């Protein structure tokens, strides 16, 4: 196990009706004017935004609203939010929605006190000395952004997607009410669960030895999603199923599963470019790319792939041929994704094999590599994209 420092100051308020107390939570932080940031009109039509702003007003806090966040959040709305916060002298940003809304809120929080373009942080040209505090009210179990230090934004000039991480934008509070996910349709529910599993897998596939405890934590979250997702899809208003998925999403990306171990993240980089180019849902692009990445790198550590096949996917261990067990595990993962409605190839997200050279250019690999479990150069990434193009062989 590697040395590590773990820091997570996000205070979680979990349970039924917790969003109705957001005003008191924010007031205790000493904030007086809040930007309520959200996505589609459904947040308004459902009455959620009204309940949130009413709670803030009862606590003596002025609310300023900015909606319109899209999946794969755009830099243009971030700029708009920054200007609005400066004009209104906002001192707190409250994201009401899923990962895209939270990521947009975090980027706004970075940009408000900064005199330059917030994108400087994403290009490594500047480092934040301050940021507005961010809170969240979560409406989908997926990204884990409600307690992570990461934001991912699509830059409209060039349409490419980049992440940025800083503890300054880790939410100070997050409200998690599983009831707010009851109305989610099946596809975003499954896409969110795919994102959860992917966050775990990016940590699970590691070269670090002696990490049995965090291996088991990872496997527990994967098993929870595997078991709970089909039941939540069958009965969308089953509170306990939704609650377990929501908590799994938070634990998958608050880095409790990643402490003391090297992490990979190549698959997210490959998937981000697909999301940016085709405006495809993040979970869908991960469903397409992750099994392809697994096939390509499996031989690097067959026993680790066999381990997850047995412990998570219930495959029988072939001690004479662990590679066979490993391949069955990958097939089982892909079959699960297909069963819950996720795409399994480029065609499922309307991606084109002819676009692979441009996708590779956007990755900006150059002479370097991505990933750590296996360091991938441009040629490797091209082969993974091509694996993701084909329809998979017969699933289990």
**CA 365, CA 324: separation in Å to the nearest integer?**
32
Task: Give the residue numbers spanning the domain of 134.
Answer: 11-180
What average pLDDT does this structure show over 164-186?
A: 96
Assign 394 a pLDDT band (cuts: 50, 70, 90). Answer: low
Statement to judge: residues 120 and 195 lie in one domain: no
Q: Using an 8 Å Cβ cutoff, are 56 and 33 in contact?
A: no
Split into its structural domains, the chain has a count of: 2
Of the candidates 75, 66, 58, the one whose C-alpha atom is nearest the C-alpha of residue 22 is 58
pLDDT higher than threshold 80 for residue 282: yes
212 shares a domain with 327: yes
State residue 35's pLDDT score: 98
Q: How many CB atoms lie within 10 A of CB 19?
A: 21
103 found inside a domain: yes
State whether 101 and 231 are in the same domain: no
Q: What is the pLDDT of residues 111-156, one digit of tens each?
A: 999 999 999 999 999 999 999 999 999 999 999 999 999 999 999 9
DSSP helix/strand/coil, 313: coil
Q: Are residues 327 and 250 in the same domain?
A: yes
CA distances from 259 to 2, 66, 157, 219 (A): 8, 36, 36, 15
Q: Are 90 and 34 in contact (CB under 8 A)?
A: yes
Least confident of 317-321, 365-369, 377-381: 365-369
What pLDDT, on the 0 to 100 scale, is given for residue 159?
85
Instruction: Kindly state whether residue 394 falls inside one of the protein's structural domains.
Output: no
Are the C-beta atoms of 181 and 43 separated by less than 8 Å?
A: no
The answer to whether residue 325 is domain-embedded is yes
**Which of the four pLDDT bands, split at 50, 70 and 90, describes residue 53?**
very high
For residue 391, what pLDDT is reported? 79
CATH for 175: 3.40.50.1970
On whether the CB atoms of residues 51 and 63 are closer than 8 A, the answer is no
Task: Calculate the CA dihedral of residues 177, 178, 181, 182 and round it to 10 degrees.
Answer: -120
- Report the C-alpha gap between 203 and 306 in whole angstroms: 16
pLDDT category, 364, cuts 50, 70, 90?
confident
Q: Residue 367: is its pLDDT beyond 90?
A: no
| Final residue of a structural domain among 148, 180, 212 | 180
β strands within 115-254, DSSP E: 134-138, 150-155, 160-165, 173-176
Q: Give me the percent of the chain exceeding a pLDDT of 90.
A: 93
Q: Is residue 112 part of a domain?
A: yes
When mean pLDDT is compared across 275-289, 304-318, 362-376, the lowest value belongs to: 362-376
Rounded to a whole number of angstroms, the distance between the first and last alpha carbons of the chain is: 35
- Going by the DSSP 8-state scheme, the letter that residue 391 receives in this structure is P
Shared-domain flag, residues 229 and 91 = no
How many other β-carbons are positioned within 10 Å of the β-carbon of residue 11? Answer: 14
The residue out of 180, 210, 243 marking a domain boundary is: 180
Do 103 and 224 have their domain in common? no
Residue 237 inside a domain? The answer is: yes
Position 6 in a domain: no
| Per-residue model confidence (pLDDT) at position 365 | 75
Q: 177-227 pLDDT, tens per residue?
A: 999 999 999 999 999 999 999 999 999 999 999 999 999 999 999 999 999
* Residue 113: per-residue pLDDT: 97
- Three-class secondary structure of residue 264 per DSSP: coil
**242 and 293 part of one domain:** yes
The CA distance from 54 to 173, in Å, is 18
Q: Looking at the structure, do residues 176 and 208 belong to the same domain, yes or no?
A: no
- Is 229 in the same domain as 361? yes
Q: Answer yes or no: is 164 within a domain.
A: yes
* pLDDT band (50, 70, 90) for residue 393: low
1 domain residue, yes or no: no
pTM: 0.94
Domain edge (last residue) among 180, 211, 227 = 180
Do 206 and 348 belong to one domain? yes
Q: Do 348 and 251 sit in the same domain of this protein? A: yes
Q: Which of 3-7, 28-32, 76-80, 392-396 has the lowest mean pLDDT?
A: 392-396
Higher pLDDT residue, 365 or 255?
255
Q: How far, in Å, CA of 161 to CA of 192, rounded?
A: 19
Mean pLDDT of the chain: 95
What angle do the packed helices 212-234 and 239-253 form, to 10 degrees? 150
User: Does residue 395 surpass a pLDDT of 60?
Assistant: no
**pLDDT of res. 161:** 87
Q: How far apart are CA 155 and CA 76, in angstroms?
A: 8
Q: Are 195 and 235 in contact (CB under 8 A)?
A: no
Predicted local distance difference test score (pLDDT) of residue 160: 84
Distance CA 282, CA 358 (A): 19
> Are residues 146 and 127 located together in one domain of the fold?
yes
Q: How far apart are CA 82 and CA 75, in angstroms?
A: 11
Q: Contact at 8 Å (CB) between 151 and 145?
A: yes
């Amino acid at each position: 196990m590697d040395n590590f420092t773990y820091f997570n100051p996000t205070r979680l308020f979990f349970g039924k009706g917790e969003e109705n107390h957001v005003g008191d939570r924010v007031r205790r932080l000493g904030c007086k004017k809040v930007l309520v940031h959200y996505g589609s009109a459904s947040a308004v039509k459902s009455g959620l935004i009204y309940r949130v702003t009413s709670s803030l007003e009862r606590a003596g806090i002025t609310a300023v609203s900015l909606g319109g966040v899209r999946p794969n959040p755009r830099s243009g709305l971030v700029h708009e939010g920054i200007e609005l916060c400066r004009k209104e002298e906002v001192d707190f940003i409250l994201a009401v929605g899923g990962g895209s809304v939270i990521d947009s809120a975090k980027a706004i929080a970075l940009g408000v006190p900064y005199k330059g373009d917030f994108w400087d942080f994403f290009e490594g040209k500047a480092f934040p000395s301050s940021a507005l505090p961010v809170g969240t009210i979560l409406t989908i179990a997926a990204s884990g952004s409600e307690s992570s230090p990461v934001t991912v934004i699509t830059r409209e000039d060039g349409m490419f997607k980049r992440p940025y991480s800083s503890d300054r934008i880790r939410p100070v509070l997050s409200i998690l009410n599983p009831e707010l996910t009851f109305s989610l349709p099946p596809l975003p529910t499954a896409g969110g669960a795919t994102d959860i599993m992917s966050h775990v897998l990016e940590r699970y596939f590691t070269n670090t030895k002696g990490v049995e405890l965090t291996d088991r934590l990872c496997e527990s979250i994967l098993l929870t999603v595997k078991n709970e997702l089909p039941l939540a899809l069958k009965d969308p208003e089953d509170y306990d199923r939704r609650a377990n998925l929501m908590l799994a999403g938070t634990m998958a990306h608050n880095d409790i599963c990643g402490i003391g171990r090297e992490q990979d993240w190549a698959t997210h980089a490959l998937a981000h470019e697909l999301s940016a180019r085709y405006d495809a849902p993040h979970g869908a692009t991960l469903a397409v790319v992750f099994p392809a990445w697994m096939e390509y790198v499996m031989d690097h550590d067959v026993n680790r792939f066999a381990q997850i096949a047995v412990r998570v996917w219930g495959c029988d261990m072939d001690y004479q041929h662990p590679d066979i067990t490993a391949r069955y595990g990958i097939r089982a993962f892909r079959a699960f994704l297909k069963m819950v409605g996720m795409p399994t190839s480029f065609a499922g997200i309307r991606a084109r094999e002819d676009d692979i050279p441009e996708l590779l250019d956007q990755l900006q690999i150059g002479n370097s590599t991505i990933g750590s479990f296996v360091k991938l150069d441009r040629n490797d990434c091209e082969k993974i994209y091509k694996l993701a193009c084909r329809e998979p062989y017969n699933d289990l």
